[in-house]
Structure 1
Amino acid sequence: MFIVLVGLLIALVRPAPEKRKYVLCRFWLYWFILLFVIKFVYEVLVQRTFFSTYWCYLFPMLIFFLVRLREGLICTIVFYAGIVFSLFYSDFQSISLTDLKLRFFITFSFVSVGSFLSAYMVARDQERLLHNQRTLSKEITERRRAEQAVQRSEEEARRLAQENAAMAEIGRIISSTLNIEEVYERFAQEVRKLISFDRIIINILNPHDDTQTLSYTSGIDVESRRSGAIVPLAGTATGECMRTRKSFLFQTESMDEVANRFPGLLPSFKTGLRSMIFVPLISKDQVIGVLSLRSIKLNAYAEEDLRLTERVANQIAGAIANAQLFTERMKAEQKARALEEQLRQSQRIEAIGRLAGGIAHDFNNLLTVIKGYSELLLFKLKAEDPLRSSIEEIRKASQRAADLTRQLLAFSRRQILEFKVLDLNSILRNMENMLRRLIGEDIELVYRLSDHLGKIRTDSGQIEQVVLNLTVNARDAMPSGGKLTIETANVELDEAHTRGHIGMKPGRYVMLSVSDTGCGMSPEVKEHLFEPFFTTKEWGKGTGLGLSTVYGIVKQSGGDIWVYSELNQGTTIKIYLPEVEEEADLLLEQDAKASLPSGKETILLVEDEPSVKGFAARVLSESGYHLLEAANGHEAFRIAQEYAGKIDLLLTDVVMPQMGGKELADRVKALHPQLKVLFTSGYTDNTIVHHGVLDPGILFLQKPFSPETLLRRVREALDR
């Protein structure tokens, strides 16, 4: 038993791991309890000397105190129970009263002390156990908090790393290309890595008309809100975002709230989108648009998402601003190139005009004689005369030459126009039958004339020439048949439409559109379309002056011409002429079968070209007029001074040496106030015209003229 006690004490005192010390204590304690029980049974049952071993009373308590194990408490309780049992089992007769009291006192004392120590030790162990548990729980809690903090820190670091990577990628995308469409697509992919969305929209502000353009959309399709759509700012969340320059979240399930606050969001709301972020795009302190992310989940976004969206919006705003600047610069360069081309074309026209003007005067004088005398001969020759066909060819050739000269003057805007206020619809209706015969039966002619069409101011004969030339070109573009559509409409052109066209001003215009379903033209052909002598027709089938003549007439009338064409898709030519707020002038139709007019009045004929003067004098004198002839202005003025009778009409050339026709007319009218004046010329300066338009009240006869034209114009002047 002593050996067991020594082993137990060594196990308690010797340094060893806690688990190993615990096992050794239990081992030696079990051996001690077994030996103690054997000794106890032997003393009580055999020797009956239990109370003689007093030291045994304290030993279990010592074991319990030293070991502090449940086995020590059980051992103490069992031992004290054995003492009580021994009191009843022992022979009370052989024990003295004093010894019995002493034994009871000792037993009671040990029991009390043992109970107190047992209770104290158990309570202290429980308190220590609870303290250890609380300490452990606190340590566990703190450790968990530390782990969670580390985990949150790691997640925040990963999130920041992801955000920074995405921002860097967005920056790289922006700097890698100026193609804004490509930037938008790749930008949306990077944003999706950071913030979940079901639809993304980039709206661009149109400050001139308070609208916004949906420059880019991706995700859930909203029918009325697709890319390229133009939407008013009023009643929209983007409009509010642009106005306040502040970002905000809008998340709701109430359609009434959407209708009351932002009715412009109803199309998106009806597709199921419930959570929306709106962030203004600001560049150089100017709001240029709004970035919007949208989700079908309610309350899908938090303030953190809003701040992150603002970061990416700052980058895309810069890209959009750069793209807009690049686009504006490209448009400016294109406009500059277009204006340069228009300037070069104007310079070419001016050069051709100077050339045409230089030869037109003399050339038309020659053509007047050739054409005039050929028509006089045709009047006198019988139908069966063999010379008639030859003279007819001379007349036709002179007419073609006159047409060519007139086209050159028209293209160079040096042709003299007699402006009248016209109803374009009336002119087109009068030409319909002629146009149908011109295009043939295999081409369908469709008129789409606008009701209440505005009036225009131009030369009626020249506008008819424009329609004829465009119709001929359309017919030649449809050799296998097709459809020709002639349309009129009232239009209003703003500054954006007129900015790139020299001479055009914003305002109301009358549009004439001629469209065909023919072969169309390539961009290369379109670039040279209005150049004189440029033609795509076979040799001998076109002069190349048809469209150039149209261009000159339209420009001289203060209008403009635009061409839309694609290969194998047809061509549309639109002419815009300024609208005037006046009543249309009455156009008198001449009766081709009516006899040639004549008269008895006195005419002062002034012409510096002898052959032309001789031709005109012959025609007028044969028609009964009394003629006074002069070769220049000074001679004519002298005749007017010396002539005592009444001079009814002054028929004078405009361009003459020393004294021009306008100066002559002013001086002669001072002598003869009732004098009528008729000017004639093949090409004139600015004495009676301004920018090719006759001054009000001026009567003019264009060279070359025929005998019939001369007589009718003279009669018109005398009867005016």
Structure 2
Amino acid sequence: MAHDFNNLLTAISGHCDLLMLRHDKNDPDYADLDQISQNANRAAALVGQLLAYSRKQTLKPQSLDLRETLADLTHLLNRLVGERTALTVSHASDLAPIRADKRQLEQVIMNLVVNARDAMPEGGQIRVETEMANLDADQRFDRATVPRGRYVVIRVSDEGVGIAPEKIGKIFEPFFTTKRTGEGTGLGLSTAYGIVKQTGGYIFCESAVGAGTTFTIYLPAHERLADARDAAEEETTVPDPMLPSVNQSWESARPPHAAAEGLALMPAKGALTRWGDATVLLVEDEAPVRAFASRALKLRGFTVLEADSAEEALSLLEDPDLVVDIFVTDVIMPGLDGPSWVRKALETRPGTRTVFVSGYAEDVFRDGTTPVRNSVFLPKPFSLSELTTTVQNQLAEPDQDVQPAPVANAN
């Protein structure tokens, strides 16, 4: 279901991007297109939140020092809580690293802090604290048992109105909310729950009416801060000199609270050395998505060969004179899935770069690993600039020496 929704959203937002290219910001139609783009983003965020609750998101775990992660996040958190609320962040001196998806963990903390702020309409204090917990035996908390081991603990506490005892057992259910209509989707805490569980952790809530609420998260301690599977380079956004209006319109289309809803754009990486002089084999079984992606890549000067199935792609590649620089392929398709056909293609075309795209590919990209060498994953829905910049960056990347991890079939 998520795969189908994200395909639809990719086609909607992508063709909206193409239309925005043909309209100046002063054009009366531009505002309407901007609204379409904004609401497509919000719909994508809702799908992502539902995937998070069901623990089916494609995570990109890395070793994290929580002190650094929270330091990077504190400025945004202070903006979110406003002037009437004081935010304090404190850490234990012996804090161990954890292994988690940084953006998703930031989403969890933002959701909890925003909930704490909303529980104190007249203002108050929010405390974010971290510490180590060494459990010598399995420990029962509420209705869950935390196995023995070393954990990094995160606590988010407020002095707000609290949660009634009859409601506290429902707070992690999707669409359950104590807020008034229009003030929340009821997905914030369910999203936090799903992300924490998918990371291998536990989340609990203690609350007293009129006295405040404390959320406690247990995340397994990670032995090493540096991990071979972590990305070695910091991601930065590279502006696109060819179509600045697309970047500007996509950025401006995000609602002011986009950061708190997890709508950040996928950043680009590294210097770009090849642009528009490459041939792309685009493999996508959904015709509207394929049409948008093909037009987007052609606008940037790429030569695009299209196939609506893995079998058609392999048939095209039987021509030894056909030059293909990069594969852009859906993951889940009828017949052979994306990783399966790419592995076959690489037998005769070793070193060809790959961009996998999918609205849902958790089984294939488990633990953030890639199924074949020299490949990256771009989640749907994606924008015109996200797709073309990802292809550009992938062509500019040096060859990877690491072997791909074994994966399960996506079908």
The alignment's TM-score, normalised by the length of structure 1, stands at 0.48
Give, in whole Å, the separation in 1 of the partners of 2:141 and 2:88.
32
Measured against aligned partners, the alpha-carbon deviations of 1:635-679 in whole angstroms (never above 9, x if no partner) come to 001111215244222111011001111111110111111112221
The CA deviation at 1:362 is: 1.4
Q: 1:456 aligns with which of 98, 106, 109?
A: 98
RMSD over equivalenced CA pairs, Å = 2.1
Counterpart in 1 of 2:189? 547
Counterpart in 2 of 1:701? 378
Task: Report SS of the residue matched to 1:580.
Answer: coil
Give, in whole Å, the separation in 2 of the partners of 1:501 and 1:589.
40
Q: 2:365 aligns with which of 689, 697, 700?
A: 689
Task: Report SS of the residue matched to 2:57.
Answer: coil
Contact 2:332–2:338 (8 Å) recurs in 1: yes
Q: 1:423 aligns with which of 50, 57, 65?
A: 65
**2:345 is equivalent to residue 668 of structure 1:** yes
Give, in whole Å, the separation in 2 of the partners of 1:508 and 1:638.
52
Give, in whole Å, the separation in 2 of the partners of 1:500 and 1:484.
23
**2:404 is equivalent to residue 404 of structure 1:** no
The CA deviation at 1:381 is: 2.1
**2:233 is equivalent to residue 591 of structure 1:** no
Give, in whole Å, the separation in 2 of the partners of 1:714 and 1:453.
38
Task: Report SS of the residue matched to 1:583.
Answer: coil
Task: Report SS of the residue matched to 2:48.
Answer: helix
Paired residues for 1:169-318 under 5 Å: none
Give, in whole Å, the separation in 1 of the partners of 2:100 and 2:394.
21
Counterpart in 2 of 1:351? none
Give, in whole Å, the separation in 2 of the partners of 1:502 and 1:678.
40
Give, in whole Å, the separation in 1 of the partners of 2:145 and 2:350.
40
Aligned residue identity for 2:234: L
Measured against aligned partners, the alpha-carbon deviations of 1:484-510 in whole angstroms (never above 9, x if no partner) come to 111122221232425876584311111
Paired residues for 1:371-386 under 5 Å: 371-386=13-28
Cα gap change, 1:600/1:684 in structure 2, threshold over 3 Å: closer, same or farther? same
Cα gap change, 1:694/1:411 in structure 2, threshold over 3 Å: closer, same or farther? farther
Measured against aligned partners, the alpha-carbon deviations of 1:524-558 in whole angstroms (never above 9, x if no partner) come to 11100100110011111111110000000000000
Contact 2:207–2:213 (8 Å) recurs in 1: yes
Aligned residue identity for 1:667: K
Counterpart in 1 of 2:88? 446
Contact 1:641–1:671 (8 Å) recurs in 2: no
Q: 1:610 aligns with which of 265, 272, 287?
A: 287
Structure ranking higher on relative contact order (CA contacts 8 Å, 6+ apart): 2
Give, in whole Å, the separation in 2 of the partners of 1:534 and 1:499.
22
Cα gap change, 1:645/1:453 in structure 2, threshold over 3 Å: closer, same or farther? farther
> Where do 5+ consecutive residues of structure 1 fail to align?
1-358
**2:126 is equivalent to residue 484 of structure 1:** yes
Give, in whole Å, the separation in 2 of the partners of 1:413 and 1:442.
35
Cα gap change, 1:504/1:662 in structure 2, threshold over 3 Å: closer, same or farther? farther
Contact 2:120–2:160 (8 Å) recurs in 1: yes
**2:387 is equivalent to residue 710 of structure 1:** yes
Aligned residue identity for 1:364: N
Q: 2:168 aligns with which of 515, 523, 526?
A: 526
Give, in whole Å, the separation in 1 of the partners of 2:74 and 2:143.
31
Give, in whole Å, the separation in 2 of the partners of 1:562 and 1:500.
7
Aligned residue identity for 2:236: Q
**2:209 is equivalent to residue 567 of structure 1:** yes
Measured against aligned partners, the alpha-carbon deviations of 1:264-320 in whole angstroms (never above 9, x if no partner) come to xxxxxxxxxxxxxxxxxxxxxxxxxxxxxxxxxxxxxxxxxxxxxxxxxxxxxxxxx
Contact 2:370–2:377 (8 Å) recurs in 1: no
Measured against aligned partners, the alpha-carbon deviations of 1:418-456 in whole angstroms (never above 9, x if no partner) come to 111122221211111111111110000101023342111
Give, in whole Å, the separation in 2 of the partners of 1:524 and 1:403.
29
Cα gap change, 1:630/1:672 in structure 2, threshold over 3 Å: closer, same or farther? same
> Where do 5+ consecutive residues of structure 2 fail to align?
243-271, 398-411
Q: 1:639 aligns with which of 313, 316, 332?
A: 316
Give, in whole Å, the separation in 1 of the partners of 2:320 and 2:282.
14
Task: Report SS of the residue matched to 1:577.
Answer: strand
Cα gap change, 1:403/1:643 in structure 2, threshold over 3 Å: closer, same or farther? farther
State the identity %.
42
Counterpart in 2 of 1:657? 334
Task: Report SS of the residue matched to 2:329.
Answer: strand
Contact 1:607–1:632 (8 Å) recurs in 2: yes
Give, in whole Å, the separation in 2 of the partners of 1:524 and 1:574.
20
**2:35 is equivalent to residue 389 of structure 1:** no
The CA deviation at 1:572 is: 0.9
Q: Which has the higher helix share?
A: 1
Aligned residue identity for 1:644: D
**2:149 is equivalent to residue 495 of structure 1:** no
Task: Report SS of the residue matched to 1:491.
Answer: strand
Task: Report SS of the residue matched to 1:427.
Answer: helix
The CA deviation at 1:392 is: 0.8
Measured against aligned partners, the alpha-carbon deviations of 1:70-94 in whole angstroms (never above 9, x if no partner) come to xxxxxxxxxxxxxxxxxxxxxxxxx
The CA deviation at 1:383 is: 1.9
Say how many residue pairs are matched: 360
Counterpart in 2 of 1:243? none
The CA deviation at 1:465 is: 1.0
The alignment's TM-score, normalised by the length of structure 2, stands at 0.82
- Which has the larger displacement, 590-599 or 695-704? 590-599
Give, in whole Å, the separation in 2 of the partners of 1:438 and 1:500.
30
Contact 1:495–1:505 (8 Å) recurs in 2: yes
- Give the greater-gyration-radius structure (CA): 1
Cα gap change, 1:384/1:630 in structure 2, threshold over 3 Å: closer, same or farther? same
Give, in whole Å, the separation in 1 of the partners of 2:236 and 2:311.
36
Cα gap change, 1:489/1:622 in structure 2, threshold over 3 Å: closer, same or farther? same
Contact 2:138–2:146 (8 Å) recurs in 1: no
Task: Report SS of the residue matched to 1:712.
Answer: helix
The CA deviation at 1:478 is: 0.8
Counterpart in 2 of 1:576? 218
The CA deviation at 1:708 is: 1.8
